[in-house]
Amino acid sequence: MSWEQFGANAAPLPGLAVNSSTPYEAPSQASGPHQFARMGAAALAYYLAARLGLLIPYIGSHVSLIWLPTGIALAAYLRWGTSMAPTMLLAAFLINYQIGTPAWAALGIAAGNALGPWLSAQLLGRLGFDAALTRRADLGHYLLAVALGMLVTASNGCVWLRLAGFLSAGQWAPAWLTWWTGDAVGALLGGIPLVAMSRASMRTSFAGRRGRFNMALLGLVLACGLLTFSPWTAPATALTFPLLALPLFLMAVLALRAGVLAASLAVLLLSGTAAWGTASGIGPFAGHDTHAGLLALWSYVTAQVCTGVLICGLAAELLASQRQQQAQFQHASEGIVVVDPEGRLTALNPMARLMLELAPKEPPGTPGLALTQLPNGNGTSLAECLQQPAGQPRLLTLCRSDGRRLEVEVQTARYRDARGRQLSQLLLRDVTESREAQASLAASEERLRAITDSAPALIADHDREYRYRFANRTYQDWLGIAPETVLGQTVASVLGEAAWAEVRPAMEAALRGEAASYERHIQGRAEERWIHVALVPRRDAAGAVDGFYALASDITPRRRAEQALRQSEQRLRSITDQLPMRVSYVGADERYRFINRAYERAFGRPRHELLGLTVREVIGAGAYGEAAPHIRRALAGETVSFDSEITTREGYRCYRASYLPQFADDGREVLGFVAMILDTTAQKQEERRLIELSQSDSLTGLLNRAGFEQRAHEAVQRCQSVGGTMALLLLDLDGFKQVNDSLGHLAGDLLLRGFAGRLSRSLRGADIVARPGGDEFAVIVEQLSAPADAVTIAGNIVEAMRAPFVLENRSVHVSTSIGVVLYRGEPGLTPRDLSKRADDLLYAAKAGGRDRFCLGSAEAPCTSDS
């Protein structure tokens, strides 16, 4: 598998940033050819690096000063995740088992060697580590994670070596420190190039002519290592130390030219050759004292690693700064032109090219173009700007090929480049729109001033200290105060302390962000005025209140109209309070707007409590249910009159109500209605008394013919609507004429009265008794349970009349004949039809011998008599 595949297939841990310039697709965690290839490559690299590290053990046979497998394991975790843990565990177990470690101890050491890099990778994932190592912070995070993770490998390994008997008690501390530093150096030495390697970093470091030169530098570093530590090319003693020092310079050049990957590869190659040569007994570190030689090797490699890390960090910071400056230069919204001391252009950003109408891509020969050679003669104007002091802006007009003009603000800055040349930088800021906006704003302000000065209102603007920032010309017209004289003054100083105390609460409310208003009386130059002042909070861009606007309108006509209205209402109230009726005005919302004093007497409440209440709340739900349909008709524009009555514990009352709708000026919208309520109880009672008198027989006190006909009509209607059976009885006194002729009319009247009394006592209280005229009487009996009830009633009457009547000192015997008709609600029959049928039955009873009754239905002949 190529290194390009290695970088492309890397699957970072959660939170781990990937080089954004490289397309990335996370591989599947399922088993497959690629997965096995990755695992095999990682295991082989781990094993070979471990064999190299064990060639130079420092303490015993297990503890090495440089342990490259740690870097390989860390890179594998960062690229492919936790799925590489079994591979790392197996490779670590095999290498430890092959050097004579018991299987149980080898497995314990392998577990620590796999766990430590995994913990470092997890920590880097949480810290947002960028595998491209383009930030100085990423190198710092890498060093921190390595230092912490290797604490696990060193502590775990030394414990197992002590348990297996490979370390004595006195060796444990130096072994732990050596193990920790060896793993840390190995993680820096082998991990950094493997982590930073990707398609993008390979192209950046080794692609093109620049990349071939970087490759040559890398080969030169390797050559220095081989010359110094190879058994075939042992250098002279005088050349040894120059060959050891030269790679440091070459690595610095590589870090500045190619970045982290090339520099870390150079360190890895040089350290690998040094370790291999020293293990083979070759090179300046392979002396007679093995420990001293290994310590020198470790110091050399550590110095190379630290130097490489430091240079890489500085290079990353420098490259980041260059990228930032280049991005700002390319994407700046202002044009940037750099001019050398000879007046030739050395750099222009895209915005400057757009302003100066130069091609986006320079044709051959354009670099070094003289400033005065710019098109449209703009170079001459810019050359003049070079003479002005640095930092002082100047307004300049650039000409365009289409005839338009571009207003720009030019600012000059001077600095020296890396070669010591003093360059001039021109910053071109397009102010065409802002200048046009300023002109438009000035025109708008002039129009606003003209409008506000013509408005018939006081208009002012105040800051948070209640100082005037603006006042229109109306201040001069109304108050005789020139508007320019109030600017910067407070409200208190302009209006006076008394007026300030009156308006201050409303203005404080406006500064709290509340819309406020007030009315006040002012003394103008020519007349007194009433004004209504509306205060509107003014807010800045952040939404905070930084002042308020004041708009005062003249409401003098309105106040005068209100005063006239109050006087008119007072006169109306004085008149209506004397009327013997309730007078009110009800709005469209059915609430009382005006009531006279009669309402106080009617409802026992003061009028101020009733005003504003709805009709329902005042008269009650029952009375409102009766009045509601008429209210709706009145609010629909119809004049309504109706009678209503109410019965309470205090007695019976009757009212006559009239609703007169009130229309708006358009004659269509109904604003409300005037209600006039007249108490007609006495009138109704008098009418009822007169009706009762007109329907009563003066002799007997019974109903007369008119009353009888009225009651008969009502009874027939009830029978037809609710059903049941009723009976109509017509009675005649047998022998009345003889008594009247023989004893006189007075005796006849006494007989009629006695007959009427006895007849009433023979009936129920609900039965209707009448004397239509002469010696004729009529009875209406309703709700009979059966026809036999009518027979019983008629028989009782006949029997009751057989007893003698005592007329003062005389005893008189008379009888009665009765015609009884039954009615069961048959349609089409009227009370007159029933009376005629009863009359026929009465004559039938007289013809049958009198002192009897004859019973029949409304449509059938007589069926029985007695």
Residues forming the active site? 775
Please provide the DSSP assignment of 242-274 as one string.
HHHHHHHHHHHHHHHHH-HHHHHHHHHHHHHHH
Q: Which of 386, 315, 396 is nearest to 356 (CA)?
A: 396
Q: Compute the distance between CA of residue 582 and CA of residue 595 in angstroms, rounded to an integer.
A: 8
Give 187's DSSP letter.
I
The sign one gets for the Cα dihedral 432, 435, 438, 442 is negative
Q: Which amino acid is at 778?
A: A
Dmax (CA) of the chain: 189
Please provide the DSSP assignment of 475-534 as one string.
HHHHH---HHHHBT-BHHHHH-HHHHHHHHHHHHHHHTT--EEEEEEEE-SSSEEEEEEE
Site of tokens 């390697």: 197
Q: Within a 10 A sphere around the Cβ of 317, how many other Cβ atoms?
A: 15
What are the CA-CA distances from residue 608 to residues 442, 461, 577, 615 (Å)? 57, 42, 14, 15
Work out whether strand 516-523 and strand 468-471 pair parallel, antiparallel, or are unpaired. unpaired
Contact 815, 801 (CB under 8 A): yes
Q: Compute the distance between CA of residue 86 and CA of residue 40 in angstroms, rounded to an integer.
A: 11
Q: Compute the distance between CA of residue 315 and CA of residue 204 in angstroms, rounded to an integer.
A: 14
Q: Which amino acid is at 77?
A: Y
Please provide the DSSP assignment of 100-146 as one string.
T--HHHHHHHHHHHHHHHHHHHHHHHHTT-BTT--SHHHHHHHHHHH
Query: Residue 361 contacts by C-beta under 8 Å, 6 or more apart in sequence?
Result: none
Work out whether strand 815-823 and strand 853-857 pair parallel, antiparallel, or are unpaired. parallel
The 815-823 sheet, strands edge to edge? 768-773, 776-784, 725-734, 815-823, 853-857, 864-865
Q: Which of 134, 131, 137 is nearest to 255 (CA)?
A: 134
Alpha helices in 127-236 (DSSP H): 136-164, 172-186, 192-196, 199-206, 208-229
Q: Which amino acid is at 765?
A: G
Q: Which of 381, 442, 443, 440 is nearest to 406 (CA)?
A: 381
The C-alpha torsion from 261 through 267 and 268 to 274, rounded to 10°, is 170
